Amino acid sequence: MVDLFVEEAGDLLDHADGLLAQLREAPGEREPVIGLQRDLHTLKGSARMAGIMAVGDLGHAMESLLEAAAEQQLELGRGGIPLLERGFDRLHAMITRIGAHRTIEAEDALIAEFNARAFGHVAEESTEIASDPQTRLKPLSAPIRDGAEDEGVTTRAPQEQVRIRADLLDRLVNYAGEVAIYRARLEQQLGAFRGAMGEMAQTNTRLRDQLRRLDIETEAQIIARYQREHEVADQTFDPLELDRFSTLQQLSRALSESAADMSSLQGTLDDLIRQYETLLLQQSRVSSELQEGLMRTRMVPFDALVPRLRRVLRQAASETGKHVQLKLDGTQGELDRNVLERMTAPLEHMLRNAVAHGLETPALRRDAGKPEEGTVRIAMRREGSEVVLEIGDDGRGLDREAIRRRGEERGLIRADAVLSDGDLNVLILESGFSTADEVSHLAGRGVGMDVVASEVRQLGGALDIASRNGEGTSFTLRLPQTLAVTQAVFVKIGETNFAVPIASVRGVGRISRDAFEQSGASYRYGDEDYHVHDLGQLIGQPPARAEGQLQMPLLLIRSGELRAAIAVDQIVGNREIVVKPVGPQVASIPGIFGATIMGDGGVVVILDIAPLVRRQAVQPRDTKPAAPAAVSHRVPLVMVVDDSVTMRKVTGRILERHNFEVMVARDGIDALEHMVERVPDLMLLDIEMPRMDGYELAIQMKSEPRLRDVPIVMITSRTGEKHRQRAIEIGVERYLGKPYQENELVRNVYELLKLQRHDNE
């Protein structure tokens, strides 16, 4: 029964806290008083039913004060509302101790204060109160009645609810994420199967064409041979009717029938693939709805945290002797329960800092021409898949001169470094940036803010700071709405793929190589300048090269005031990913907050670009000449062009075993289409292919300046001198016959790529 009471009491007190905030803003309104009276009446009755008399007695005393105010027997006045706040704060503390199965004591002194005010034993500033219409209760438009006809609103039967353990819900969400991963793997494998079926269709077409030509050639040879053997043709039997020729014809016809059977099987497989794709699409839809439903069960309104934040603010104001009010905007939005729980302590810390170190004392505020009562505001809005929280105050702001001095003392920045206000602001997020003795010099913002920034970063969010001297400071927290799934852009640098949350991506672009190599290069997008950075340098890898592309791909990142254009080797695309934790060791590395599992089972790290860019901007630079960078060993790209699926797969696997990157094409036209994007270092080329044969492709390549220098190795069953001579005249470097020996092929490839393969010299 006690556990049930604690659960009910928490809901009642949270609701009462909102009414108390309304009463503070409009002391003359009667509705909040009636609502508080009802909440306390319910709380008092439940407490006494559970045998917790201390809570019941305090609730009864508070209810008596509100009853007297509702009946207009007294005015709450300037002291009544703060007294109610103290009472509700004490009730919260008592309920918390009861929930932890700890004892509580009777609040006799506080009860005496409520009774004294309720029964007229405390003198009020009657003259001032009587002259202030805001302190008088306004009558309700309708009389108060008991039951379902009460505040003019009819009551409805509450919807049945089920409570489940949070850890069970988290496991279900994780299972839904695993289902999404397996579905992606099935989609990838089905796509590969569809590609293999396309290859099979082309093989069947080629087989039927070869059988047709075989029939024609066989028939012609039979007739020619018969005419050579018999100068006078036998008029009795047609040559094709003789027994010695019927076997060959039967085999030819049997092959044709087998080809037709293969086509029929191919059609059957195509139908099955279409059915599987339909089922997979349906399963994807159901899985997405299941996942969204589970995610909705984990979503909780931010308002649920507001009563707790109000109590923190009141406590901080009481301890510092300052006056403060909390303003809320858009806090009805929802967040993932895990996100809200992990951000509770950081938000409380930021509110305490705002009161203790951000807001001035009433006397200083008067001298500065400000109201004695300071303001702390919390605003919430949604941008895409992110939830944006703004926590600000109208206090003194940050002391950037002191921040810079401290940064220079700690070696975080150079004395001659030119930094913007934003770069100076983020210095307070460095671990241990300030000490207790220096709190007043740095407006107190440095203490503990590194913990806040670390928590935000681990959640995959971002923290921005804005401050104006004498006007206040604002912290903007960009948090994921959910921790389970998100959209991400995949980029490639070197041989490694990375994922970047799409919430921080403004767009994509391209920049010329000449402009990219200029110092301080920038890219103009949406009337804003994006400073160009190299992802390879940001993460400690070789710089981006974008081999085979005319321009450098750029990923445009926006985070607060930061605008950065990140150069990469390739932008692969975007997709929905399931975010997986990487553990505290990896998560502590700047710029990494998670990983995801791809459809093929590979693990891809999820990057947060903004901290990497900011870290590079503020880190000290050594005046000594930098050591020469290590030479990057690029993996050579070899293109295999052959209409045979088997030849492409076998040759590709041989090359991959020898650490080559392989690109395949089924004929000359397909190869030319591939080489629009990337130019290979070497080509292995067959002669007989549909649409464009090997000779035609070689002639086309040797006539184009961009492809002229690509070495070509012809591998063909045409081993005659005439074919070899024609290949040499075109400019082919090597000519091998099928079947080739692996050692011979690899030797020729190594010889032709020697200048490009520095690691094999």
For residue 441, is pLDDT > 50? no
pLDDT at residue 570 is higher than 80: yes
Check pLDDT > 60 for residue 489: yes
Superfamily of domain 327-480: Histidine kinase-like ATPase, C-terminal domain (3.30.565.10)
Q: What angle do CA 582, 583, 584 make, to 5 degrees?
A: 130
Mean pLDDT value across the chain: 79
133 has a pLDDT exceeding 50: no
Question: Would you tell me how many other CB atoms lie within 10 Å of the CB of residue 286?
Answer: 11
Task: Give the pLDDT confidence score for residue 712 in this predicted structure.
Answer: 93
Q: What is the pLDDT of residue 245?
A: 58
- Residue from 298, 292, 340 nearest 169 by CA: 298
80-114: pLDDT as tens digits? 888 888 888 888 888 888 888 888 888 888 888 88
Alpha carbon distance 488, 491 (integer Å):
10
Fold identical between 2-141 and 637-760? no
The answer, yes or no, to whether residue 697 has pLDDT greater than 70, is yes
756 compared with 606, residue with greater pLDDT: 606
Distance between alpha carbon 101 and the CA centroid of its chain, in Å? 41
- Which of these, 388, 387, 386, 307, lies nearest to 351 by C-alpha position? 307
Q: Would you state the pLDDT for residue 506?
A: 86
Q: 203 phi and psi, to 5 degrees? A: -65, -40
Element (H, E) at 341: helix 337-353
* Residue 444 scores a pLDDT above 50: no
pLDDT tens-digit readout, 294-347: 878 888 888 888 888 888 888 888 888 888 988 989 888 888 888 888 888 889
For residue 232, what pLDDT band results from cuts at 50, 70 and 90? low
In 442-572, alpha helices (H): 449-458, 513-517, 535-538
Residue type, 310: R
| Size of the chain, expressed as the number of residues it contains | 761
Q: Among residues 708, 758, 755, which one has the least CA distance to residue 733? A: 708
Q: What is the pLDDT of residue 228?
A: 67
Higher pLDDT, 249 or 467: 467
Q: Which pLDDT score, from 0 to 100, does residue 641 have?
A: 93
pLDDT tens digits, one per residue of 737-750: 888 888 888 888 99
Between 383 and 709, where is the model more confident? 709
pLDDT in tens, 76-85: 766 788 888 8
Which tens digits make up the pLDDT trace of 136-170? Answer: 444 443 333 333 333 733 444 455 667 777 778 87
- pLDDT score, position 60: 87
CATH number of 2-141: 1.20.120.160
Tokens at residue 627, please? 């050591």
The residues near 426 (Cβ < 8 Å, ≥ 6 apart) are 465, 614, 618
pLDDT band at 120 (very low <50, low <70, confident <90, very high): low
Lowest mean pLDDT segment, chosen from 150-154, 393-397, 722-726: 150-154
Q: What is the Cα Rg of the chain in Å?
A: 39
3-state secondary structure of 134: helix
* Domain locations along the chain: 2-141, 166-300, 327-480, 485-618, 637-760
- Reduce the secondary structure of 240-295 to three states and give it as a string: HHCHHHHHHHHHHHHHHHHHHHHHHHHHHHHHHHHHHHHHHHHHHHHHHHHHHHHH
Residue 205 has pLDDT above 70, yes or no: yes
Q: Is the pLDDT of residue 725 over 80?
A: yes
Q: Is 409 exposed, middle or buried, given 0-12, 13-18 or 19+ CB atoms closer than 10 A?
A: exposed
Highest mean pLDDT among 45-54, 195-204, 222-231, 665-674: 665-674
Mean local confidence (pLDDT), 630-636: 60
Whole-angstrom distance, CA of residue 46 vs CA of residue 624: 74
Q: Return the pLDDT at 390.
A: 92
Q: What percent of the chain has pLDDT over 70?
A: 84
pLDDT tens-digit series, residues 176-198: 877 877 887 788 888 888 888 88
Q: What's 357's DSSP letter? A: I
Scan for tokens 């569809």, then name that residue.
194
Of 575, 523, 520, the residue nearest 552 (C-alpha)? 523
Q: Which CATH superfamily is domain 637-760 in?
A: Response regulator (3.40.50.2300)
Percent of the chain with pLDDT over 90: 8
pLDDT of 713 > 80? The answer is yes
Q: What's the confidence (pLDDT) of residue 21? A: 83
Classify residue 449 as exposed, middle or buried by CB count within 10 Å of its CB (0-12, 13-18, 19+).
buried
d(CA 577, CA 145): 55
Give residue for tokens 């934040």.
Answer: 309
Alpha carbons 300 and 298: distance in angstroms, whole number: 6
Looking at per-residue confidence, does 619 or 465 come out higher?
465
335 CB neighbour count, 10 Å cutoff: 24
Which three-class secondary structure state does DSSP give residue 599? coil
109 half-sphere exposure, CB direction, 13 A CA radius: 3
C-alpha span between 307 and 459 (Å, rounded): 24
Look at phi and psi of residue 288 and say left if phi exceeds 0, alpha if psi is from -120 to 50, else beta. alpha
pLDDT at 759 over 70: no
Range with the poorest average pLDDT among 69-83, 144-158, 210-224, 614-628: 144-158
d(CA 644, CA 199): 9
DSSP H or E segment with residue 94: helix 77-99
| pLDDT given at position 548 | 72
Output the pTM of the full model.
0.56
Mean of pLDDT values over 48-61: 85
Residue with tokens 């806090």: 331
- Confirm or reject CATH 3.40.50.970 for domain 485-618, answering yes or no: no
Return the higher-pLDDT residue of 709 and 550: 709
Q: Which residues contact 259 (CB under 8 A, 6 or more apart)?
A: 204, 207, 208, 211
